[in-house]
Amino acid sequence: MSQPPFVLVISADNDPQLDLLSPIPHVTGKDFSAFAQAAPRAEVIFHWSGSRDLLRQVFLASPNVRWVHSRYAGLDHVLFPELVASPVPLTNGSGVFSASLGEFALAAILFFAKDLARMRHNQRARRWEPFEVDEIAGQTVGIVGYGDIGRAVAARVHAMGMRVLALKRHAPAKSDLGPDPLVEKFFKTEELGAMLALCDYIVVAAPLTAETHHMLSEAAFAAMKPSAVLINVGRGPVVDQGALLRALDAKRIRGAGLDVFEQEPIPHDDPIWSYENVLISPHCADNTKTWLSDAMRFFLAQHQRFTKGEPLKNVVRKDLGY
């Protein structure tokens, strides 16, 4: 029986989930010295955690590598020119964390619809002050970036009776496998403003690429309803944070629920901390009790496919960045 493919595991942390790799021949390390001798015989590189520079260094020293896997769904901190140009397939953790991110988007919608911040403020003040709340059924959610996370958002808000619009780089044609039952209408990238104008809530779930950097900036906020709420569960720099704060100051939109930011951690003196109409999650909306174990189990299943010569899941378009 042949030996399973040898794996180099880049990890900046001593996560207990790494113990699950024990049946697979591998070397784990957080600096290049750990991989120098083993790199020539490696067939797989598993980027569990650590810097892009280290991943690049290990990749360039591994002439026989035939597959690279990243624990993360986002690839903006993973891709480098030599990997993009190579024929080596890259897979990611897309889908592993989507359910929790979909739940966060729904929670943020309800946070604003029911004005939970006002309820908590009045409770602390021991103030009995009834007020009107919104019903989300019948309201419109626009999803910017309709990939796996976007579909997870759509499934949850659609179940609550909300209308779903979606922006997708390549909107599905009518001749494809029938209409998407969750989405009322798809919009192309150049139709972003038209979609935003129709939305009560906008959920950003797009990856960060050269094309999506600051996709939501001054023009996008100008197109939104004054009652609109922006929710970002994708990547921080897809939203121009300065433009967002200016839109909030001018009351061009109602508020924002953010799990990701242009700079993380948010600096202590960043003005965004003081905005009452911004819900801040410290990039942990997908940090469930099992998220690391789920990510490891996904890699182990992928490794089995690779060993058997079966097609890998989540093969990304390296040239597009997702």
Active site residues: 235, 264, 283
CA 225 to CA 209: how far, in whole Å?
Answer: 27
CA 52 to CA 44: how far, in whole Å?
Answer: 16
CA 161 to CA 182: how far, in whole Å?
Answer: 11
CA 25 to CA 214: how far, in whole Å?
Answer: 42
* Cβ atoms of 94 and 275 closer than 8 Å: no
Q: H helices of the chain, where?
A: 52-60, 81-85, 98-113, 116-124, 148-159, 192-196, 218-223, 241-249, 291-308
CA 258 to CA 264: how far, in whole Å?
Answer: 12
What distance, in Å, lies between the first and last C-alpha atoms of the chain? 36
Radius of gyration of the chain (CA): 22
Tell me which residue of 135, 217, 134 sits closest to 230, measured CA to CA: 217
Residue 218 CB-density burial (10 A; 0-12 exposed, 13-18 middle, 19+ buried): middle
DSSP label at residue 17: G
* Cβ atoms of 106 and 83 closer than 8 Å: no
CA 252 to CA 246: how far, in whole Å?
Answer: 9
Q: What are phi and psi of 173, to 5 degrees?
A: -80, 155
